[in-house]
Amino acid sequence: MMKDTPILGEVEQLVLLAVLRLEGAAYAVPVRELIQRDAGVRLLRGSVYVTLERLERKRFVESWFSEPTRARGGKARRLFRLRPEGLAALRASRRAVDRLAAGTVAARPEGRRA
Amino acid sequence: VSVRSSWPFRLALRTVPQAWRASVRQDLADEAGQAWGSAWWCALEALGIALSLHWNFTRAAVMSDLRHAIRSMLHARGFALGAIATFALGIGVNVAVFSAVDRMLFRALPYDRPDGLAVLGQYRVGDAQPYGTLPAAYVVQARRLPAIVDASISTWDADHYRIARDPDGARYLSFVQVSYNLLAVLGVRPVIGHDFTERDARQKQHRLLLSYAVWQRDFAGSPSVIGQVMWDERSSGTAEIVGVLPDDFIPPQIVRPNLSWSGLSVTSDTLDAAGPNDRSTPPFVRLKAGVSLAVAQAQVDGVGQQVEAQQPTPRPGAPQTVVRLVPLRAALFGRYETYLALVFAAATLVLLAGCANLASLLLVRARSREHRTAVQLALGASTGRVIQAAVIEALLLAVSGCAVALVVLQAGNHAIAAWLPPLFSKYAAPVFATRVLVFSSALAALSAVVAGVWPGWRAARVDVLSVLQRGIGRTGTAPLRGSASMLAGEIAVSMVLVACASLTGRSLIGLLRTDVGFDMNRLQFVSAYLPSLPDLVLLRQQYGDMLDTLRTIPGVSAATGADVLPIMGAVDAPMWTGDQQQGQRWSVTDGFVETMGMRLLAGRPISASEVRTVAPVGMLSESGLRLVWPGVAPREAVGRLLEFPAEDPRQVVGVVSDVRGSYAERPWPSLYVPLGSARFRSMFYAVRMAPGRTLSVADVAHALQQRGHAPTLVRVSSVTALFDQGIVDQKFRAELFSCFGAVALLLAVIGLYAIQSFNVALRQMEFGIRISLGAEPHDLWRMLLRQTLRPVVVGVVVGIVVTYWAAQFLQALLVHVDARDLSTYAFVTAVLLAVGVLAAWLPARRAVRTDPAVVLRAQ
């Protein structure tokens, strides 16, 4: 029997990918900017925080507090990186989508016909 | 750095969950430095983030609380139904009142840039109400002033048109007459068709703009309505429909606010010329953008002197007047604001009583579930968590109550509309209008918080250890705490509302008992107009012939005529030239005193031959006599000569009772003289019917036509109905406050009864012990009564203080009644104490009948 892997939500996938790409320098602002720049999706600030929170609770990401920033009055900020479970969930989600799309028009690059 | 330390941002950050606060602060401050820089925006963003995070944290808990609340509501159906029904009463009253007063109190007028609109009116110095008219030259001049874009008027009159060609049984719609530029001044465009044009007015074309409601109702919203005609009531003429007004349009009606309307019709007045004697209704004025009222007023004052100089010299002793610009909103609704605010405040009080009631019911409920709460607390639930659960339960009940109220209001829509006086029904919004729905949901949510927090807090303060030791299913025996203050509040609210009801009720009864000075029974008011004639003698004779015809109609026992009947209200007819508006002169025909049923105090009425010859005689009313000859007895006045300036002496033949024009009006000191043909305009008739007979328009029209008269606009109305119309508002207020008072009283009874019977159930053991130790039934009675009445007495005292304070506003609604009258307070106190005793009765009876053996064995 195959174990049910939870499929990540759309926003969760985007945020996980952004955290992955930011390589240890991920926090809410660059995550949001990266998603907007590369995926063309504009997320509400609140939902970025909420998603990070949720991902951490699911143990897909982990956070730690950085050194206080150098600006005057700067405080420590929460940084995120992917945990192995997060990477596995990301892969599983990608695979699930790919399997489902295989052989359909959706799997082909744009503009090409069969 | 400046954004970081600004207080709105710092304050907003406090709402962000601790784990995220530092990050959010850093992130937002960084971005503020680059992109937007405003502290307020940072604060708003922080609030948004906080809201998302909190909702994410608590969603599961809220959902579980909600599920639990629904389950427990279904479980205790009786309790839930009672709570929902009582709360529906409270919120229903509020929603109904809000939908009725919203337009007048809170919304902007449905015109373009309504702040730039004003009304130019002539005021008696010191008066807040303008006269119905002002010299028409003001309108013409105002249109040319640099501060004013344009001015427009709505006349006194309405035109009546029917949709069907056939006049038999047709329904007439009334169209408010306005000048062609009204919509342009208000900045309103028809939804279909076009506006009136100046050419319509110049060529005296009959054109109509339909209201949206009539378009939907009578023309099924069809666009082909444009170009259709409607038939005139007076002539066989027609008028063409040129457009349809927007759905939210209301005609600005200052001079006749109660005139019903189905649309607008255009007058032929183009407002570009006026003779010295012409008068106009107060014009609506559009100020140029950016021009203040003061600047425009200064310009009006500038032309004012010129206009006044051309006016006919005022009568000696005429009051001083000023011509003032007043914002349109204030002119339309200013005079009702206190009244409406009072009604709104009263409705809010009813809701407060509803909240207190809901809270006390929840308190009882929380007590009966204290074991569960204790377990939750023992497992680590915080006080906030327990309060949250209580608020959610209250929310569920409140929202259900609100839904019930909305459905009931919608179902009773027509009945309510028929009950409301024109002022309210005209501006009332439908129940399912967005604003009303938003208002009611916000109100329900707010009430739930108000009603839920206190019971939740009390529940969280339960003594966990002792409750857990006692075990499931056993309630403690300590009396219910924390309910007394709520009951006292509820009683105070009831006190205020019942006092309002009793005051307005007494005012109404007082009015209805007023001696009007004549007999209203079976008295009909008849009007029938004849075409105007240059030969006044002939015209007077024709009207006289119509009177003779009326007297021959079967069922008519007497009839009389007058230039103006006192029941129509005072007109500009002074008792003598320069009497400074102290008295009135009425010109009447013979049979006046007999037909009206006035009391003759001395002498005799004016005879038929005196009317025919227009003899120099007159009858004085009681107060008229006091005005001309103070201290002279009626009998001594008969035969004396009245010598007024600039007229021949007139002999007094009789003295009659004072007559009022309406219940609330004071009687005018009056002089009645024979109606001649000098300056004759028309005659109105009063007809006394034989018992059991009625008079219809058809009867009158038929009789007059048979004698060769061709009157237009025949109207017959019962004088009783006319007088009742004058007290519509008084009646409505009395009914409204009675309704509020009854709801508040009902809520108070339910609250008192619920708490008291729960208390008695809790204390059965105590009663058992008391009885077995020898307490007599009357001792228990006295004790329980005292405990129930304590919050009642506190509530009554608070209520009296509040009512005494509110009396200053209430007084404006009352006629012949003092709002601080002691007997009212005594009466209401007695009512509330009686209610308190009643609510204590049944539970107390149960307590007295406690069988000590049964109760003690159970332990």
Q: What is the ipTM of this complex?
A: 0.80
Q: Please, what is the angle between helix B383-411 and helix B370-378, to 10°?
A: 140
At residue A66, the pLDDT reads: 77
At residue A2, the pLDDT reads: 46
- Amino acid of residue B321: T
Residue B829: pLDDT above 90? Answer: yes
**Which positions in chain A touch B34 (Cβ < 8 Å)?**
none
How close A81 gets to chain B, by Cα (Å)?
15
Contact A78 B20 (CB under 8 A): yes
Q: Hunting for tokens 């009606």 — which residue is that?
A: B253
pLDDT digits (tens, 9 = 90+) for B142-178: 999 999 999 999 887 788 888 888 777 677 888 999 9
At residue B859, the pLDDT reads: 63
Residue B206 exposure: Cα atoms within 13 Å on the Cβ side: 17
Residue B120: pLDDT above 80? Answer: yes
| Residue A78 touches chain B, beta carbons under 8 Å | yes
How close A10 gets to chain B, by Cα (Å)?
17
Q: Hunting for tokens 């169209």 — which residue is that?
A: B175
- Amino acid of residue B16: V
Residue A17: pLDDT above 90? Answer: yes
* Residue B735 burial by Cβ neighbours in a 10 Å radius (0-12, 13-18, 19+): middle
| Residue A11 touches chain B, beta carbons under 8 Å | no
Computed over every residue of chain B, the mean pLDDT equals: 87
Partners of B209 in beta bridges: B243, B264
Residue B75: pLDDT above 70? Answer: yes
* Residue B268 burial by Cβ neighbours in a 10 Å radius (0-12, 13-18, 19+): middle
Residue B776: pLDDT above 90? Answer: no
CB B459 within 8 A of CB B366: yes
CB B692 within 8 A of CB B537: no
Average pLDDT over residues B791-811: 91
How close B445 gets to chain A, by Cα (Å)?
24
Tell me the two tokens of residue B396: 């569920």
Residue A6: pLDDT above 90? Answer: no
At residue A74, the pLDDT reads: 61
Closest by alpha carbon to B387, among B776, B39, B61?
B61
Residue B716: pLDDT above 80? Answer: yes
| Residue B115 touches chain A, beta carbons under 8 Å | no
Burial code (b: 16+ CB inside 10 Å, e: under 16) for B324-344 equals bbbbbbebbbeebeebbebbb
Average pLDDT over residues B222-232: 91
Q: Cα separations (Å) of B131 from A55, B256, B277, B429?
A: 73, 12, 16, 30
Residue B644: pLDDT above 80? Answer: yes
How close A59 gets to chain B, by Cα (Å)?
16
Rounded CA-CA distance A31/A53 in Å is 13
What is the separation of C-alpha B644 from the centre of its chain, rounded to a whole number of angstroms? 45
Contact A49 B31 (CB under 8 A): no
Contact B20 A53 (CB under 8 A): yes
Q: Cα separations (Å) of A82 from A4, A26, A97, B135, B440?
A: 21, 10, 21, 84, 47
Q: Cα separations (Å) of B823 from B193, B494, B553, B817, B829?
A: 61, 17, 51, 11, 10
CB A60 within 8 A of CB A92: no
Residue B548: pLDDT above 80? Answer: yes
- Return the minimum-mean-pLDDT range out of A19-23, A41-45, A95-99, B482-486: B482-486
Rounded CA-CA distance B453/B443 in Å is 16
What is the separation of C-alpha B658 from the centre of its chain, rounded to a whole number of angstroms? 31
At residue A113, the pLDDT reads: 53
Band (pLDDT 50/70/90 cuts) for residue B86 is confident
**Which positions in chain A touch B30 (Cβ < 8 Å)?**
29
B569 three-state secondary structure: coil
Q: Cα separations (Å) of B42 from A45, B4, B225, B530?
A: 11, 9, 55, 76
At residue B272, the pLDDT reads: 85
Count of pairs with CB atoms under 8 A, one residue in A, one in B: 52
How close A37 gets to chain B, by Cα (Å)?
16
At residue A114, the pLDDT reads: 47
At residue B45, the pLDDT reads: 87
Residue B798: pLDDT above 60? Answer: yes
- Amino acid of residue B761: A
Q: Hunting for tokens 């605010």 — which residue is that?
A: B341
Rounded CA-CA distance B250/B28 in Å is 48
Tell me the two tokens of residue B366: 């929380």
Tell me the two tokens of residue A24: 């240890």
- pLDDT > 90: what percent of chain B? 35
| Residue B22 touches chain A, beta carbons under 8 Å | yes
Name the phi and psi angles at B289, rounded to 5.
-55, 130
* Residue B273 burial by Cβ neighbours in a 10 Å radius (0-12, 13-18, 19+): exposed
Average pLDDT over residues B831-837: 91
Residue B490: pLDDT above 80? Answer: yes
Residue B857: pLDDT above 60? Answer: yes
Residue B104: pLDDT above 90? Answer: no
The residue with greater pLDDT, B771 or A77, is B771
At residue B562, the pLDDT reads: 92
| Residue A55 touches chain B, beta carbons under 8 Å | no
Rounded CA-CA distance B336/B333 in Å is 5
Band (pLDDT 50/70/90 cuts) for residue B1 is low
Partners of B437 in beta bridges: none
Band (pLDDT 50/70/90 cuts) for residue A111 is low
Contact A72 B1 (CB under 8 A): yes
Rounded CA-CA distance A71/A68 in Å is 9
**Disruptive mutation site among B4, B36, B52, B54 for chain A (greatest number of A CBs within 10 Å):** B52
Other beta carbons less than 10 A from residue B778's beta carbon: 9
| Residue B36 touches chain A, beta carbons under 8 Å | no
Contact A49 B4 (CB under 8 A): no
Residue B364: pLDDT above 50? Answer: yes
B233-239, long-range: CB < 8 A, 24+ apart: B233/B159, B233/B160, B233/B161, B233/B162, B233/B172, B233/B713, B234/B160, B234/B712, B234/B713, B237/B206, B238/B206, B239/B159, B239/B161, B239/B206, B239/B207, B239/B208, B239/B265
